[in-house]
């Protein structure tokens, strides 16, 4: 036993290895058989982002149409 500190280092390494395996096992249990979990999450987020952009563009186009209609009404009222 020339280096007793190596046993302590090996022990800590084994504890870290077992902890990482437990984390991997918990992730597997949480995700289940869905091996494309991250792909599904990213596609869902992309869909939500596209819907948000469509809603913003629709609201902007409604604001533009509203202002055009108001200008037409004002010009029609001013030209009797």
31-61 per-position pLDDT tens digit? 877 778 888 899 999 999 999 999 988 888 7
How far apart CA 67 and CA 28 sit, in angstroms, is 55
| Exposure class string for 49-67: b at 16+ Cβ within 10 A, else e | eeeeeeeeeeeeeeeeeee
Contact 37, 31 (CB under 8 A): yes
DSSP string across 9-42: HHHHHHHHHHHHHHHHHHHHHHHTT-TTHHHHHH
**Mean pLDDT of all residues in 64-70:** 52
**Mean pLDDT of all residues in 62-74:** 54
Overall pTM surpassing 0.85 (yes/no): no
Domain residue ranges in the chain: 1-32, 33-80
pLDDT for 53: 92
């Amino acid at each position: 036993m020339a280096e007793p500190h190596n046993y302590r280092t090996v022990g800590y390494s084994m504890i870290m290895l077992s902890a990482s395996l437990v984390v991997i096992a918990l992730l597997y249990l949480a995700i289940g058989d869905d091996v494309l979990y991250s792909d599904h999450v990213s596609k869902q987020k992309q869909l939500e982002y596209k819907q948000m952009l469509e809603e913003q563009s629709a609201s902007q186009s409604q604001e533009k149409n509203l202002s055009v209609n108001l200008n037409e009404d004002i010009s029609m009222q001013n030209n009797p």
